Amino acid sequence: MTIQPETRAFEAEVSQVLHLVTHALYSHKDIFLRELISNASDACDKLRFAALSDAALTAGDAELRIEIEYDKDARTLTIRDNGIGMSRDEVVDNIGTIARSGTRRFLESLSGDARKDTQLIGQFGVGFYSAFIVAGQVTLTTRKAGADAADGVRWQSGGSGEYTLEQVEVPARGTSVTLQLKPGEDEFLDGWKLRELVKRYSDHVAFPIRLRAESDGKPTGEFETVNHAVALWTRPKADISDDDYRAFYKSLSHDFNDALAWTHNRVEGSQSYTSLLYLPEKPPFDAVFSGRDERKGLKLYIRRVFIMDASEQLLPAYLRFVRGVIDSDDLPLNVSREILQENRLVAQIRSACVKRTLDLLDRLAKDEPEKFAQFTSAFGNVLKEGIAEDGANRERIARLLRFASTHGEDASRNVALDDYIARMPAGQEVIWYITADSWLAARNSPQIESLKARGVEVLLLGERIDEWMIGYLHEYAGKQLRNAAKGELDAADGSDAQAREQAAAAAQPVLDKLRQSLGDAVDKVQVGQRLTQSPACIVLGEYDMAPHMQRLLREAGHDVPASKPVLEINPQHALVQRFAAETDPARSADLAHLLLEEAQLAAGEQLADTSAFIARVNKLLAG
Ligand code: ADP
Ligand code: MG
């Protein structure tokens, strides 16, 4: 059956991407070649995989390869593969009308900085469109492996709004993409230039990339392989240079930043496999990375055959920043996602990946502090999820975390728990911390005033994840971790119990008065050892969630039951003394509520009635 040629419109989002690509993304334009070669290589991978169950698919032409040809007179550049090819429907689905899931995210992630945005394109599954950076017209001709020559498809587009589809005769399986170069893009019609780009970006593509050699400016008819064409991880470590590793990382991840570090291992034993794991320098892109649902980046090969992206099966979520390759000798080639979930060998590889990654981080922390600091700022908060998720490795992960502390000058997170313990004075038994909305709020928390005054170091946990994470970290290296805002502060601190009781007795009248003024608004009022400068602060029960966290959860639409606060006061403070001396009941009530509201604000809480608070402040200020 012959289908008539037709013209179709791109979906709005695809058009938007195309418009951007043709009008705004002009720097680093040579990435288009990397993207098209990467698609050709993916197509060869897919065919090799499909041929496992249907050998007829590669019969007659078993040597998978990628070919690049150019024609100076016609000003065209063609990238061809003999991979899986596409049916008509697949062409429409994959590169035609329908916006794929990455399209919207790509648009959302654009920064407006052309240099950065061009580089993003391959990471969002819209790499094909990068062809339009250099081409005014793109023609894709394809024949699905196993399909008849008569059922080939030609797709053509000028990159603005629409494309044509036509049924054509295609003599051999696979896909060829021909770019009609825009004026001024003649550099891509040069053998040396193309060879250099292939070497730079695609040397480690595991299939031969062959360039049609030229002599006297004319193609000779001979193709010459220009890349290494060997899967990098299969080569002996000693033969691989750092530059090789870096280049492979880039082609693997479509990341334009470098890899920060990597670990390459061959395991022989009850099962054999190779792992090559990378830490990126920077989060590849926030939009996808922050979502835990769709994880990608660790490719599973079985005896050199690419099987699938198995990041979810081979890595826990808290190591989702790892990129790399696992190549197993022992898994069955017909493995499915379901099998991967419960396979014993996979479970072993997974825990080895965790161990290798943590080992690599240990090594960075020890030997390359600058790189480790870079890691901490890029992925430290993701790693923290492991404290909750991976109980077996909790202590190891905790050792890799870095925090800001009252001993630091600024917000930089550079204090390890081991550093803290090493400088703990004799007699101090616990590791103190405080959580808050931000580093600044943590540092200025009234709850840590007396600890600070006594020179006791307090870890300042100002990241959103900290409150949740620290709930799973009760102990490190035999030391308890304690929140300075929770429970009795002095009990764990060994200060004089008798002095405490005396102070409490002396403060009893003001406590009673406060209790009376505040009534139901508080659970309890108390004197304690926390405050030196502020008049009052909120104290949390052992299992209470910090107020700033409660607020965030409420803002996110969660139903967080309100608990009544415990208010700790500083009887020495002028405001508390003024309250104690105040005889007018109305003014007493205002002062009492102010003390409470200030403490709530300092704890990052939202006041139930802000206007009442303002009215009280104004009344008191006006005398
Ligand atoms: P990605 O490669 O990340 O999926 P692209 O925009 O580069 O995104 O490609 C979109 C899709 O088009 C691919 O997933 C693939 O299904 C299809 N495709 C592109 N090029 C080829 C090719 N040479 N052979 C077969 N399919 C291809
Ligand atoms: Mg691609």
pLDDT in tens, 56-86: 999 889 999 999 999 988 999 999 999 999 9
Residue 606 is predicted with a pLDDT of 85
CA distances from 220 to 212, 213, 536 (A): 7, 6, 86
96 C-beta closer than 6 A to ligand 1? no
Q: Say which range, 121-125, 376-380, 454-458, 493-497, has the weakest mean pLDDT.
A: 493-497
The CA 131 to ligand 1 mean position distance, Å, reads 12
What local confidence, expressed as pLDDT, does residue 554 receive? 85
311 lines ligand 1 (CB under 6 A): no
Q: Is 597 in the pocket of ligand 1 (CB under 6 A)?
A: no
* Paired strand residues for 165: 6, 155
Q: What is the DSSP string of 441-502?
A: HHHT-GGGHHHHHTT--EEEE-SHHHHHHHTT--EETTEEEEETTBS-TTGGGT--HHHHHH
pLDDT band at 394 (very low <50, low <70, confident <90, very high): very high
Closest CA to 374 of 248, 469, 280: 280
Q: Which residue has the higher pLDDT, 493 or 100?
A: 100
For residues 536 and 446, is the Cβ–Cβ distance under 8 A?
yes
Q: Has residue 422 got a pLDDT over 50? A: yes
Ligand 1 contacts CB of residue 529 (under 6 A): no
With a 6 A CB cut-off, is 322 part of the ligand 1 pocket?
no
User: 125 C-alpha to center of ligand 2: Å?
Assistant: 6
Residues present in the chain in total? 623
CATH code for the part of the protein at 497-621? 1.20.120.790
The upper half-sphere exposure of residue 60, i.e. CA atoms within 13 Å in the direction of its Cβ, equals 8
Q: Is 95 in the pocket of ligand 1 (CB under 6 A)?
A: yes
C-alpha of residue 101 to centroid of ligand 2, in Å: 13
Q: What is the pLDDT of residues 304-352, one digit of tens each?
A: 889 988 999 999 999 999 999 999 999 988 788 888 888 999 999 999 9
Q: Is residue 57 within 6 Å of ligand 1 at its C-beta?
A: no
In this prediction, residue 221 has a pLDDT band, given cuts at 50, 70 and 90, of confident
The reply to whether ligand 1 has any atom less than 6 angstroms from the CB of 81 is: yes
Instruction: Specify the ligand 1 atom closest to the Cα of 254.
Output: 3
Residue nearest to atom 11 of ligand 1 (CA): 94
pLDDT at 201: 84
Question: 179 CB under 6 A from ligand 1?
Answer: no
Residue 39 CB–ligand 1 contact under 6 Å: yes
Ligand 1, atom 23, lies closest to the CA of 40
Quote the CA–CA distance of 415 and 403 in Å, as a whole number.
5
Class of domain 402-484: alpha beta
pTM of this structure = 0.83
Whether ligand 1 lies within 6 angstroms of the CB of 126 is answered as: yes
- For residue 366, what are its two tokens? 């020890």
Residue 239: burial class (beta carbons within 10 Å; 0-12, 13-18, 19+): exposed
Query: Given ligand 1 and candidates 21, 128, 294, which is best to mutate, with the most ligand atoms within 8 Å of its CB?
Result: 128
Ligand 1 in reach of 43 Cβ (< 6 A)? yes
What is the residue whose two structure tokens read 């109980």? 391
The predicted structure's pLDDT at residue 287? 42
**Matching residue, tokens 């620290």:** 470
What CATH number does domain 6-229 carry, 1.10.357.10, 3.40.630.30, 3.30.565.10, 3.90.1860.10?
3.30.565.10
Q: Residue 377: which residues within 8 A CB-CB, separation 6 or more?
A: 413
The encoded tokens of residue 503 equal 């102070």
Cα–Cα distance list, 288 to 106, 108, 123, 127, 385 (Å):
9, 10, 10, 16, 17
Among protein residues, the one with the nearest Cα to ligand 1's atom 19 is 39
Quick one: pLDDT at residue 101? 62
Domains of the chain: which residue ranges?
Answer: 6-229, 234-358, 402-484, 497-621
pLDDT at residue 444 greater than cutoff 90: yes
- For residues 504-520, one letter each, b for 16 or more C-beta atoms within 10 angstroms of the residue's C-beta and e for the rest, the string is eeebeebbebbeebbee
Q: Is the pLDDT of residue 284 over 80?
A: no
Buried b (16+ CB within 10 A) or exposed e, 41-54: bbbbbebbbbbeee
Q: 102 CA distance to ligand 2 centroid (A)?
A: 11
Average per-residue pLDDT in the chain?
A: 89
pLDDT class of 281 with cuts at 50, 70, 90: very high
DSSP 527: E
pLDDT above 60: residue 290? no
Region of poorest pLDDT, from 49-63, 145-159, 284-298, 450-464 = 284-298
pLDDT at 288: 44
In the reported structure, the alpha carbon of residue 128 is separated from the centroid of ligand 1 by a whole-number distance in angstroms of 6
Residue bearing the bigger pLDDT, 452 or 221: 452
Q: Which residue has the higher pLDDT, 519 or 216?
A: 519
C-alpha to C-alpha distance for 14 and 586, rounded to whole angstroms: 66
Using most ligand atoms within 8 A of CB, pick from 10, 42, 179 the residue to mutate for ligand 1: 42
Ligand found nearest the CA of 43: 1
Mean pLDDT confidence for 394-422: 95
Percent of the chain with pLDDT over 70: 91
pLDDT-based confidence at residue 47 (cuts at 50, 70, 90): very high
Examine the pLDDT at 492 and tell me if it is beyond 60: no
Residue owning the nearest CA to atom 21 of ligand 1: 39
Pocket test for ligand 1, best of 57, 95, 97, 133 (most atoms within 8 A of CB): 95
User: Ligand 1 within 6 A of 136 CB?
Assistant: no
Q: Is 141 in the pocket of ligand 1 (CB under 6 A)?
A: no
Please say whether the structural domain 234-358 has been given the CATH code 3.30.230.80: yes
Could you tell me the distance, in angstroms and rounded to a whole number, from the CA of residue 32 to the centre of ligand 2? Answer: 10
Considering only CA atoms, which residue is closest to atom 13 of ligand 1? Answer: 94
Which whole number is the average pLDDT over 386-395? 96
Distance 44 CA to ligand 1 centre (A): 11
pLDDT score for 286 = 47
Instruction: Give the mean pLDDT of 49-54.
Output: 90
